[in-house]
A and B are shown apart, each in its own frame.
Chain A
Amino acid sequence: MSFEPPDQESADLLALAQSIADKAGRTEQVEAFVARSSYTTVRAHGGEVESFTSAVSAGIGVRVVSDHRQGFAWAGTLEPDAIADALADARDNATFAEPDEWVGLAEPDGVAPVPFDAFDPSVASMPADRKIDLALELERMVRAGDSRITGVRVATFSDSSSRFAVATSTGIAGAGRGAWCSMSVLALAEDGDETYTGGGSTVGFCPDDLDLSEAADDAVLRATRLFGAKPVPSQRVTIILEPRMAATIAGLLGSTLTGERVLKGRSPFGDRVGEAIASPMLTLVDDPTDHRSYAADMFDGEGLACRRNRLVVDGVLQGFLYDSASGRRAGRPSTGSAVRGVSSTPSVGCQALAVAPGAGTFDSLLAEIDTGVYLQSMTGLHSGVNLVSGDLSVGIEGLMVRNGQLAEPVREVTIASTLQRMLLDIVAIGDDVEWLPGGTGCPTIVIADLSLGGS
């Protein structure tokens, strides 16, 4: 497959990766994954720059497969001696793994990558003063947003321009680049002896995409609408999830649909392909070729072309995501779903999940709810969600919904169910798809019959 790297720097990285892959002996496969990125982070607080960080970092991960055994080593530098050490370590590590007939690197599969280049040079060339001004401006906007705002914990501007390349002795060659900038702010609001925080953020492929007003308004609204919040009695409730919250649930579902989890018996949906696992309203795809996603990409972590993968259509489970090794074991092609950094081997993961839009806006879906809870935030996702059993229990803050309208604020309560039940209990999906910083596209989702644990 012929492939042109998008610029000289990417071409240089690809040449480096290729030179390492070329060192493969006759009985082994070698893969090199090389990345380099430059970034800045400006943190503003109290009208001053709290910190300004700028740096370039680079690294390499080397995977060796020999006799169906895999070894891996990485280094946080591209110095030639470190690269040579990494290759030697990876070879040595491979001798200690137990053989597995499915283990091996990706091989070219003839799927052409969908061209995509979101690299805007204006990100890297943006003057430092402008970044500082933006961070200070965002803090000012939040502080001016409401008399109860007493400050911000931090207002941040970040940008990153990165390039990567992957090459293997099996004929894979891929490279890409990307640039993003983002801003976030955490507002503090006080009234009487109560203090609340509220966050807002904005992300873009270039500085002009940033919407400071939206981030500031969001942070102010979220920090100021919980005053007087308290627990409500335990009850069964309907919850309404705005896109950013709904995306979290979509992400949990996506995580259970990787071939690796299924093959190793760790997915609650492992034997459900072809069955209705969710309300017929739900259609979920993982599609890094959708260029509206901030996670859009041409290649996966093994250098195969990214592709559109349908996971759930009209509530029916269609299949799972695979990288090349899990695909071989399952007797299926890779879905181009290998995700990785330089310091780890590829694993199967979701890249750009998207829930298909239904009908209705957030407000119209809200109007349909008699009694429920609007979730502003969920906490304890890492401790309260078990992706093997599907058990889910999280702490929430938000507003009660009464007679179709947002009502009194609530905090220090939990909601609980199982992922399996929640999917079947979806009662509405909106048409207000929002593309979120993590790359997920999601509309408002309403789910019935969760247990609320409160007073």
Chain B
Amino acid sequence: MIEQSVLEEVLGVAMRTGGEFAEVFAEDRRNASAVLDDGRVEELTSGRDRGAGIRVVVGDTTGFAHTADLSEAGLIAAAEAAAAAARGGGGGANVVALTRGSASRGYDIETYPGDVPKARKVELLTRADEAARSVGDAISQVSVSYGDNRRRILVANSDGLFVEDETVRTFFAVSCVATGDTGMQTGRESVGHTIGFELFDMYDIDQLARNAADRALTKLAARPAPSGQMPVVIGSGGGGVLFHEACGHGLEADLVSKGASVFRGRVGQQVASKGVTVVDDGTMVREWGNIAVDDEGNPAQRNVLIEDGILTDYMWDHLRARKEGRRSSGNGRRQSYQNLPMVRMTNTYLLAGEEDPESIIASTPKGVYVKHLGGGQVNTATGDFVFGMTEAYLIEDGKVTEPLREGNLIGNGPEVLQRIDALGNDFAMGPPGTCGKDGQGVPVGDGVPTLRVSSLTIGGTAA
């Protein structure tokens, strides 16, 4: 994307005013999407975004500037702006010599989506629309979306790091509305992986569409969810967001170091039930949160955060790790070249236990079975989090019975981790997610086995 000699020159300019660390992050991203709604292929969109963000660190201050101009002159202007913003004392003279490193995703992209005729993408949309509508006349509306992106990045910094990488992601989602005597209900299914068009060899699009339609139909018969505390069984693959919210965000080193996490100072302590092991793993090939290197050029890692209930470590980016005199854990990510990186999750999941999932439900006299969770949100300072139930059922006498309308669950991270009293042997990854933090969204994955939390608060309307 940019010549090595130009990068060295630009980093030299960035360091000239006394910077302690400087970095060029360049990005070239192409997006394509197609949307079918209301029975008609509405629109295809193509997008191209290309530019570089340059940061200069002086003491505790980071100066940052970005530009869409990747010429030498454009980059130097941005480097000067970043250096000025970092307010170094001046007088620095720094020669930067870069050593090209390698990043490998460890697998091949079989079919680049950009090489696939648009007509084939459009055909997937219409197929899914027909499949969803075939489920029943009560399916009153269907929208289908396809998306792919190819993102090339380059990171070069004053420590001599120089690495380039390419990531390809492909995504497909079906949303249905069912209309009945009780009003309207919705059902959604989505799949996404860090791969090319071979996504559609992995999934049966017709089945995906029928599942989304079935979910909407099922909810037409749903009754209001209960309100109050009760045992909750979370379905395999459907509830990784629980750990993303309940502990993941609280284990991000930037929040911990600012005292904004309930997990501050708790490394080495028992923070979860025995048997609970939580991992954040950027190396999980082909998963939605998979990366070869993070957006600071550091290799992705498999980081064990909680092992058998004991808090083992936080997640780190370059700045926070540098301050603590340790290595980044490969969790420095950013939405685009226009943003500063910060500590972010990749694929966050809970390892399987040994119990038969059927027996977990059978041993729950009364409670709620949440097959799929929606998004969630956490206040890391208190650990209080919520997440939505997009498909849930009552458990009565150890059996899954009636479907429930949508609602939120609320709990407290540290408490919930201690209340996990059953772990199934049926681990699965869940649908692709987008994690938002300080206004930046990044793709993340999550996964769980079937598990039970002995008590969570359900936010329904029934007494």
Contact = CB atoms under 8 A, between A and B. Distances in A.
Interface string B215-259: 000010000010111000000000000000000000000010011
Interface in B101-143: 118-119, 122, 140-141
A416 B141 contact: no
Contacts of B81: 54-55
A72 B44 CA distance: 6
B233 to A, nearest CB: 18
A412 B66 contact: no
Given A51-B63, A412-B411, A453-B228, A268 B42 contact: no
B457 A454 contact: yes
Nearest to B458: A453
B460 A49 contact: no
B62 A451 contact: no
B68 A76 contact: yes
A424 B122 CA distance: 43
Nearest to B61: A49
B61 A195 contact: no
A72 B45 contact: yes
Interface string A46-74: 10111111111110000000000011111
A380 B388 CA distance: 7
Nearest to B58: A49
A57 B61 CA distance: 23
Contacts of A264: 37-38, 141
Nearest to A377: B379
A153 interface: yes
Contacts of A414: 227, 386, 407-410, 457-459
A170 interface: no
A393 interface: yes
A248 interface: no
Given A71-B44, A153-B260, A196-B381, A412 B62 contact: no
A122 interface: no
Contacts of A282: none
Interface stretch (A2-10, A93-101, A305-313): A93-101
A338 to B, nearest CB: 15
Contacts of A382: 375, 377, 388
A21 to B, nearest CB: 19
Interface in B367-409: 373-379, 381-382, 384-388, 405-409
Interface stretch (B161-169, B180-188, B346-354): B180-188
Contact of A92 (B68, B118, B140, B382): B118
Contact of B379 (A49, A197, A415): A197
Given A195-B382, A382-B375, A388-B184, A54 B48 contact: no
A391 interface: yes
Contacts of A85: 48
A418 B459 CA distance: 12
Main secondary structure of the interface of A (DSSP, over half): strand
B40 interface: yes
Interface string B334-347: 00001010000000
Contacts of B406: 384, 386, 389, 391, 393
B49 interface: yes
A27 interface: no
A53 B340 contact: yes
A372 interface: no
Given A97-B42, A386-B406, A451-B227, A77 B51 contact: yes
B64 interface: yes
A342 B240 CA distance: 34
A411 B37 contact: no
Nearest to B380: A197
B442 interface: no
Nearest to A390: B183
Contacts of B66: 53, 55, 57
B305 to A, nearest CB: 20
A72 B43 contact: yes
A371 to B, nearest CB: 16
A173 interface: no
A72 B85 CA distance: 37
B363 interface: no
Contact of B47 (A51, A58, A74, A96): A74
Contacts of A391: 405-407
B67 interface: yes
A140 interface: no
Contact of B62 (A51, A82, A190): A51
Contacts of A96: 34, 41, 44, 118-119, 122
A397 B377 CA distance: 13
A318 interface: no
B217 to A, nearest CB: 13
Contact of B384 (A53, A89, A92, A397): A397
B205 interface: no
A49 B384 CA distance: 29
Given A196-B381, A266-B141, A454-B228, A46 B60 contact: yes
A265 interface: yes
Interface in A409-455: 411-418, 451-455
B26 interface: no
B186 A395 contact: no
Contacts of A389: 183-186, 219, 405-406
Contact of B386 (A188, A343, A394): A394
Contact of B410 (A49, A188, A395): A395
A55 B179 CA distance: 48
B213 interface: no
Contacts of B386: 379-380, 383-384, 394-395, 414
Interface string B411-433: 11000000000000000000000
A70 B42 contact: yes
B46 interface: yes
A166 B27 CA distance: 28
Given A383-B408, A452-B227, A231 B62 contact: no
B87 interface: yes
Contacts of B183: 268, 389-390
A364 interface: no
B365 interface: no
A279 interface: no
Contacts of B293: none
B209 to A, nearest CB: 17
A412 B410 contact: yes
B65 interface: yes
A190 B264 CA distance: 13
A150 interface: yes
A151 interface: yes
A234 interface: yes
Given A98-B42, A453-B457, 12 more contacts: A45-B258, A56-B67, A96-B41, A96-B44, A384-B406, A389-B185, A414-B458, A451-B463, A453-B410, A453-B460, A454-B228, A454-B457
12 contacts: A48-B61, A52-B61, A53-B63, A77-B68, A89-B46, A234-B228, A234-B463, A265-B177, A379-B379, A379-B385, A383-B377, A389-B183
Q: Give 7 closest A-B pairs by Cβ, nearest first.
A: A414-B459, A383-B388, A453-B227, A380-B386, A395-B386, A76-B49, A393-B407
Interface of B: 34, 37-38, 40-51, 59-69, 81, 85-87, 118-119, 122, 140-141, 177, 179, 183-186, 219, 225, 227-229, 255, 258-260, 262, 338, 340, 373-379, 381-382, 384-388, 405-412, 457-463
Interface of A: 45-46, 48-58, 70-77, 79, 82, 85-86, 89-90, 92-94, 96-98, 100, 128, 150-151, 153-154, 186, 188, 190, 194-197, 231, 234, 263-266, 268, 343-345, 379-380, 382-384, 386, 388-391, 393-395, 397, 411-418, 451-455
